[in-house]
Amino acid sequence: MKKYLNYLFTGLRILVGWHFLYEGIAKLLTTGWSSKMYLMGSNWIFSDLFHRMADAPGLMRTIDLLNIWGLILIGLSLFTGLLIRWSSIAGALLLLFYFIAYPPIPGHTFGSIAEGSYLFVNKNLIEFTLLLVFAAVPTEYFFGIDRLIKRWKEEKPHAPVPPVKKEGVILQRREILRDLISLPLLGAFAYAVYRKRKWDSYERKFLTGKADAISSATLKTFTFSSLSDLKGQVPKGKLGDIELSRLIMGGNLIGGWSHARDLIYTDKLVKAYHTDEKVMMTMQLAEKCGINAILTNPSLCRIINKYWQETDGKIKFISDGGASEESIIKSVEGGACSVYVHGGSADRFAYDGKIDEIAKYLEMIRSYGVPAGIGAHRIETIKACVERGLKPDYWVKTIHHHNYWSAKVDLERQTTVDDGFKDNMFDFTPQETIDFMNKLEQPWIGYKILAAGAIQPKDGVRYAFDNGADFICVGMYDFQVVEDCNIVLDSLAKVTRVRPWRG
């Protein structure tokens, strides 16, 4: 087997070289590529250093240049077998930085591209180890230019020159061909890059070009905001002694409650999208934007606690599980900073004349030393609670207008609290909500402000703040967080409201 080691080592070296070379060329050909977001997302040791580097434009240009050309030159060196030892050491150092920035340790992989499931070992660590082996292995174990040069240096001229046998010439030629084995593969690499580039151009042409002679639905293109587009930190208010961002992250999408009307597959789709890593990455991004709270069901205590433990995140948890003793206990034990009676449950209690049940759970929540709130979809629920003298620490009430096509109620079936109100409408009497809520002194968290995706965020956010909401709760995918924060900042800068800020 020993005679095959040269081929094995050479093959491994060319594969690693191919990977390095293409990574560098891909970055070189990508307009505006930068490692800034990669550095900003790091949260392990040296993360502060990486963040400072990302904030220095001049330094970032140098880092990007070193990244691109470092990968290209290391790749070419490994591919051709020239200066293998030095390029292996340089490549190992580069991979070490990548590994430190995003180690495959639970809670520290946010923002990195994962091609599989990693635990402490990923492709960076594997290639790092391979390059250390390449640096330690003698030159003669590799076919390549290094071996060709070494053999040429070792051949000493003799005088007179002895006649060379035909077999020796053939053997010498074979050795040269072996050392140049990567050249045909380099040609194959160049052809593959050309074909890939051609396909990318084809895709770009048809994805970004105008639709021509297409009936029915046409393709849409989207521009997603990144952290570098953030206009500032979301401002904060007070809920009792708790400091809360004016924009609170909603947990429906994470839990799989999409309220997607007739799209019956969407709940499963959003749940499949929100893996643990994706959820934690989204919460971490939210915190970077100044969002410091998430409002959701106690069934998500597991992932929230996992986020706290693995990332040292500080996002606060407001639980809607205040409609049963078991759920209240689970919420408090799960770290909720506040609990409120869920809107759907409060609506049913109020409709059935059981306001005492809401009062009971309100006091039970307070007995655990956390602020207690009351939620509602129907303004009648809030009115009934006020009439009975209930004074929660805050209200959680839906608020949105009806200027969207599916906003309608089936009046013929409106016989109970649920009948007639399908999954299309959450604030049934907007103006009545605004008029009554403006009289209340407790803080108001407005939710369903976009009618579960039916209203444009710019419209829904401004409508909620202008009409009295002190805080808003919005469900967000990771690619919407920055954009939503910017919308909140723009809306608050131009807000015109009658109700004084509460909290």
Quick one: what percent of the chain has pLDDT higher than 70? Answer: 86
**Is residue 206 one of the residues assigned to a domain?**
no
Terminus-to-terminus CA distance in the chain, angstroms?
76
Tell me if 352 sits within 8 A of 360, measured CB to CB.
no
Mean pLDDT of 24-45: 86
**Is residue 478 one of the residues assigned to a domain?**
yes
137/257 same-domain check: no
Classify strands 471-475 and 247-250 as parallel, antiparallel or unpaired: parallel
What is the CB neighbour count within 10 angstroms for residue 241?
Answer: 7
Q: How many degrees, rounded to 5, is the angle at CA 149 between CA 143 and CA 153?
A: 135
Tell me if 209 sits within 8 A of 258, measured CB to CB.
no
Q: Which has more confidence, 372 or 408?
A: 372
Q: pLDDT-derived band of residue 189, with 50, 70 and 90 as boundaries? A: confident
Q: Which residues, 6+ apart, have CB-to-CB distance to 51 below 8 Å? A: 39, 40, 42
β-bridge partners, 247: 472
How many domains, the chain? 2
Assigned token pair, 229:
């587009």
**Is residue 164 one of the residues assigned to a domain?**
no
Most confident of the ranges 90-104, 112-126, 189-203, 403-417: 90-104
**Is residue 409 one of the residues assigned to a domain?**
yes
Mean pLDDT of 375-384: 96
90-103 per-residue burial string, b: 16 or more CB within 10 A, e: under 16: bbbebbeebbbbbb
274/196 same-domain check: no
Report the phi/psi class of residue 389: left, alpha or beta, with left for phi > 0 and alpha for psi in -120 to 50.
Answer: left
Tell me if 313 sits within 8 A of 283, measured CB to CB.
yes
Domain at 270, CATH number:
3.20.20.100
Express each pLDDT in 238-264 by its tens digit.
998 899 999 999 998 888 888 887 888
**Is residue 460 one of the residues assigned to a domain?**
yes
The answer on pLDDT for 411 being more than 60 is no
197/284 same-domain check: no
Q: Tell me how far apart the alpha carbons of residues 308 and 335 are, in angstroms, rounded to a whole number.
A: 10
Whose tokens are 């009439």? That residue is 387
Tell me if 472 sits within 8 A of 419, measured CB to CB.
no
343/260 same-domain check: yes
The answer on pLDDT for 213 being more than 50 is no
- Ramachandran angles phi, psi of 11, nearest 5°: -60, -45
The answer on pLDDT for 197 being more than 70 is yes
pLDDT for residue 463: 97
Express each pLDDT in 337-352 by its tens digit.
999 999 999 999 999 9
Q: Tell me how far apart the alpha carbons of residues 298 and 332 are, in angstroms, rounded to a whole number.
A: 9
Distances (CA, A) of 274 to 53, 210, 271: 31, 33, 5
The answer on pLDDT for 1 being more than 70 is no
Distances (CA, A) of 321 to 19, 75, 119: 50, 56, 34
What SS3 string covers 203-252? HHHHHHCCCCCCCCCCCCCCCCCCHHHCCCCCCEEEECCEEEECEEEECH
Q: Tell me how far apart the alpha carbons of residues 156 and 207 are, in angstroms, rounded to a whole number.
A: 62
| The model's pTM | 0.70
The answer on pLDDT for 472 being more than 70 is yes
246/295 same-domain check: yes
266/365 same-domain check: yes
Angle between helices 481-493 and 457-466 (to 10 degrees): 40
174/279 same-domain check: no
422/484 same-domain check: yes
- Ramachandran angles phi, psi of 446, nearest 5°: -85, 130
Q: Which has more confidence, 101 or 398?
A: 398
What DSSP letter does each residue of 90-106 carry, written as one string? HHHHHHHHHHHHS-SST
180/259 same-domain check: no
194/274 same-domain check: no
Among 201-210, 418-427, 443-452, the range scoring the smallest mean pLDDT is 201-210
**Is residue 386 one of the residues assigned to a domain?**
yes
DSSP symbol at 285: H
pLDDT for residue 205: 54
**Is residue 428 one of the residues assigned to a domain?**
yes
**Is residue 165 one of the residues assigned to a domain?**
no
Q: pLDDT-derived band of residue 216, with 50, 70 and 90 as boundaries? A: very low
Mean pLDDT of 403-408: 86
155/277 same-domain check: no
Its domain, for residue 96, covers 2-159+170-201
pLDDT for residue 408: 76
Assigned token pair, 487:
């919308």
Give CA torsion, residues 37, 43, 49, 50, to 10 deg. Answer: -20
Among 97-106, 238-247, 323-332, the range scoring the smallest mean pLDDT is 97-106
Q: Which has more confidence, 177 or 420?
A: 177
Report the phi/psi class of residue 143: left, alpha or beta, with left for phi > 0 and alpha for psi in -120 to 50.
Answer: beta
Please give the sequence-ordered ranges of beta strands (E in DSSP) within 218-353, or none if there are none: 236-239, 242-245, 247-250, 293-296, 316-319, 338-341
Q: Tell me how far apart the alpha carbons of residues 306 and 299 are, in angstroms, rounded to a whole number.
A: 13
Express each pLDDT in 64-75 by its tens digit.
999 999 999 999
152/281 same-domain check: no
Q: Tell me how far apart the alpha carbons of residues 459 and 502 are, in angstroms, rounded to a whole number.
A: 22
